[in-house]
Amino acid sequence: MALPSVWSVMRVAIPFISVVGLLSVRLVGAGQDSGSVIPAESRPCVDCHAFEFMQRALQDLKKTAYNLDTRTETLLMRAEKRGLCDCFHAIH
């Protein structure tokens, strides 16, 4: 029994692998098409999502900065009041 040459094996193997690859790609594509598809025109782009995310993050930062500023003012007012009261009690 003679062994087949490498070239004869390759002539059969390459088309076989190609056919199996094409079939698997079609099966994967068919699995993705089964769900509801949103047309590209109605989907927001990635840049729009990033922009909206950055807007929300900026708003959150502004709120945080305002809250910190308000808190700092309150603490400074308390410290000044305490200092003034201490001075007033020291004088009398």
Alpha carbons 92 and 69: distance in angstroms, whole number:
35
Structural domain count, the chain: 1
Distances in whole angstroms, Cα of residue 8 to Cα of each of 4, 5, 12: 6, 5, 7
Q: What is the pTM of this model?
A: 0.39
Mean pLDDT of the 26-33 span: 55
What are the tens digits of pLDDT across the range 77-91? 998 888 887 776 666
Mean pLDDT of the 24-51 span: 66
For residue 39, the enclosing domain spans: 2-90
What's CA 36's distance to the chain center, in Å?
Answer: 23
Residue the block writes with tokens 């502004």: 62
